[in-house]
């Protein structure tokens, strides 16, 4: 059995998309909402299986990875999140790059010699590597308009990944991936008025308008916090809204909080764009937190830990 295991955000989907456009393969798709990163533990692996694992932290999946390798599976792994210690194993092909200016889509782009480069750039935009993606567009000879199109597409696919459960999303990430397989180039997708792009564009416009109407609950030179209500649209927009805020005010950190059913907060933290470090370390201090230096989150932050969270951020970026 072949398993394609990928994060349900733009980077995860597009990393796999490039691989399968280049090398089509019958596989079982294993994915979920963007925050659902412990995907390896859900698979019942047998000897001889092949696993392709994309855009989920090796550190968070180390038990599942070790167990798959012990059972005799071969694993291709590409990622840019915290990896912990990478196991030495002849059946593990690990392609890990922790550079804050790369993403899994770009790691795959390199391995495929840029075969689906426009898709890879879309993944970079989706992971909010805007300057990097702009640069790649320039080098590839794309017009400003084409760059804007890839940016919007990446943002929309990324936006689709946010939610507490797949039911919150407009498209199950597995379904969206399969729909995108019909388009060897993102520019083909944009030409198709029935493509997921236009459905996501409309939905995004409605959600972002609601988020923009909510005032901040904490505002300093170093940090702004926005609390969104316990609504499906909040859970969908929180991460992409964090990116939008970060791009608007690149010297400040931003946290978007969404109330969970149990009154705790779902947290999305963005480091200042001009100082892309610390977010993963700060969120990892909380039991359900984790992520990358530039973008991280906490699944359930207790209400009474909110002040500690704010102080940690203020302290971290003060120096
Ligand atoms: Mn990624």
Q: Is the confidence at residue 261, as pLDDT, over 90?
A: no
- Cβ-proximal residues to 281 (8 Å cutoff; 6+ apart), any chain: 293, 316
- Give a yes or no: residue 209 inside a domain: no
Residue 37 alpha carbon to ligand 1 centre in Å = 11
Same domain, 36 and 176: yes
> Can you say how many angstroms the Cα of residue 152 is from the centroid of all Cα atoms in its chain?
15
Residue 94 alpha carbon to ligand 1 centre in Å = 16
Q: How far apart are CA 70 and CA 159, in angstroms?
A: 36
Residue 126 alpha carbon to ligand 1 centre in Å = 8
pLDDT at residue 260 in the model: 87
Residue 11 alpha carbon to ligand 1 centre in Å = 5
Residue 160 alpha carbon to ligand 1 centre in Å = 14
Same domain, 193 and 225: no
Residue 188 alpha carbon to ligand 1 centre in Å = 23
Q: pLDDT tens digit string along 270-305?
A: 999 999 999 999 999 999 999 889 999 999 999 999
pLDDT at residue 238 in the model: 83
Residue 216 alpha carbon to ligand 1 centre in Å = 27
Residue 93 alpha carbon to ligand 1 centre in Å = 18
Residue 128 alpha carbon to ligand 1 centre in Å = 9
Same domain, 186 and 264: no
Q: Which of 200, 223, 248 is the last residue of a domain?
A: 200
pLDDT at residue 101 in the model: 95
Residue 82 alpha carbon to ligand 1 centre in Å = 11
- Give a yes or no: residue 47 inside a domain: yes
- 153-173: average pLDDT: 94
Q: pLDDT tens digit string along 109-131?
A: 999 999 999 999 999 999 989 99
pLDDT at residue 203 in the model: 96
- Give a yes or no: residue 136 inside a domain: yes
pLDDT at residue 105 in the model: 98
pLDDT at residue 164 in the model: 83
Exposure string over 109-137, b if 16+ CB within 10 A, otherwise e: bebbeeebbbbbbbbbbbbbbbebbbebb
pTM higher than 0.75: yes
* DSSP sequence for the chain: -EEEEE-SSHHHHHHHHHHHHHS----EEE--STT----GGG----TT-EEEEESS-TGGGHHHHHHHHHTT-EEEEEE-S---SPP--TTEEEEE---TT--HHHHHHHHTTTTTHHHHHHHHHHTT-HHHHHHHHHHHT--HHHHHHHHHHHHHHHHHT-SSSGGGSSS-HHHHHHHHTT-SSHHHHHH-TTSHHHHHHHHHHHHHHHHHTSPPSEE-SSEEEEEE-SSHHHHHHHHHHHHHHHHHSTTSEEEEEEE-TTS-EEEEEE--TTS--SHHHHHHTSTTEEE-SSEEEEEEE-GGGHHHHHHHHHHHHH-
pLDDT at residue 239 in the model: 79
Residue 86 alpha carbon to ligand 1 centre in Å = 18
pLDDT at residue 185 in the model: 98
Q: Is the confidence at residue 99, as pLDDT, over 80?
A: yes
Same domain, 81 and 148: yes
Residue 15 alpha carbon to ligand 1 centre in Å = 9
Q: How far apart are CA 96 and CA 84, in angstroms?
A: 11
Give residue 82's pLDDT band: very low, low, confident or very high (50, 70, 90). Answer: confident
Q: How far apart are CA 188 and CA 180, in angstroms?
A: 10
Contact of 159 with 201, CB cutoff 8 Å: no
Residue 181 alpha carbon to ligand 1 centre in Å = 19
- Give a yes or no: residue 205 inside a domain: no
Instruction: Tell me what the pLDDT averaged over the chain comes to.
Output: 96
Contact of 124 with 15, CB cutoff 8 Å: no
Q: How far apart are CA 237 and CA 239, in angstroms?
A: 6
Residue 102 alpha carbon to ligand 1 centre in Å = 8
Q: Is the confidence at residue 319, as pLDDT, over 80?
A: no
What CATH number has the domain bearing residue 268? Answer: 3.10.310.30
pLDDT at residue 51 in the model: 98
Residue 120 alpha carbon to ligand 1 centre in Å = 11
Residue 276 alpha carbon to ligand 1 centre in Å = 15
pLDDT at residue 243 in the model: 85
Residue 275 alpha carbon to ligand 1 centre in Å = 19
pLDDT at residue 265 in the model: 95
Q: How many domains, the chain?
A: 2
Residue 158 alpha carbon to ligand 1 centre in Å = 10
Q: What is the phi/psi pair of residue 284, to 5°?
A: -70, -15
Same domain, 236 and 266: yes
Q: What is the phi/psi pair of residue 35, to 5°?
A: -75, -15
Residue 304 alpha carbon to ligand 1 centre in Å = 31
Residue 16 alpha carbon to ligand 1 centre in Å = 12
pLDDT at residue 233 in the model: 94
What CATH number has the domain bearing residue 81? Answer: 3.90.1640
Q: Is the confidence at residue 222, as pLDDT, over 80?
A: yes
Domain residue limits at 186:
2-200
Q: How far apart are CA 267 and CA 259, in angstroms?
A: 9
């Amino acid at each position: 059995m072949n398993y394609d295991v990928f994060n349900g955000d733009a980077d995860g989907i597009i990393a796999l998309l490039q691989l399968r456009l280049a090398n089509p393969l019958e596989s079982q798709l294993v994915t979920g909402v963007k925050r659902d990163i412990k995907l390896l533990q859900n698979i019942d692996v047998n000897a001889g299986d092949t696993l392709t694992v994309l855009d989920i932290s090796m550190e968070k999946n180390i038990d599942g990875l070790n167990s798959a390798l012990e059972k005799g599976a071969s694993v291709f792994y590409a990622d840019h999140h915290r990896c912990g210690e990478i196991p030495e194993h002849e059946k593990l092909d690990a392609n890990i790059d922790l550079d804050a200016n790369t993403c899994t889509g770009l790691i795959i782009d390199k391995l495929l010699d840029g075969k689906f480069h426009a898709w890879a750039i879309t993944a970079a935009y989706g992971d909010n590597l805007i300057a990097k993606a702009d640069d790649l567009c320039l080098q590839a000879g794309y017009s400003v308009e084409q760059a804007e199109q890839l940016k919007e597409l990446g943002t929309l696919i990324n936006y689709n990944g946010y939610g507490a459960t797949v039911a919150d999303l407009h498209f199950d990430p597995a379904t969206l991936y399969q729909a995108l397989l019909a388009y060897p180039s993102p520019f083909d997708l944009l030409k198709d008025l029935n493509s997921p792009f236009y459905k996501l564009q409309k939905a995004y416009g409605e959600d972002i308008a609601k988020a923009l109407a909510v005032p901040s609950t904490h505002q300093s030179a170093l940090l702004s916090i926005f609390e969104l209500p316990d609504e499906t649209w909040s859970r969908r927009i929180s991460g992409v809204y964090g990116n939008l805020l970060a791009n608007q005010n690149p010297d400040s950190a931003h946290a978007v909080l969404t109330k969970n059913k149990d009154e705790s907060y779902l947290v999305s933290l963005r480091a200042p764009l001009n100082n892309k470090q610390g977010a993963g370390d700060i969120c990892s201090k909380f039991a359900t937190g984790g992520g990358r230096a530039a973008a991280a989150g906490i699944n359930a932050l207790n209400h009474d830990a909110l002040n500690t969270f704010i102080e940690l951020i203020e302290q971290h970026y003060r120096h």
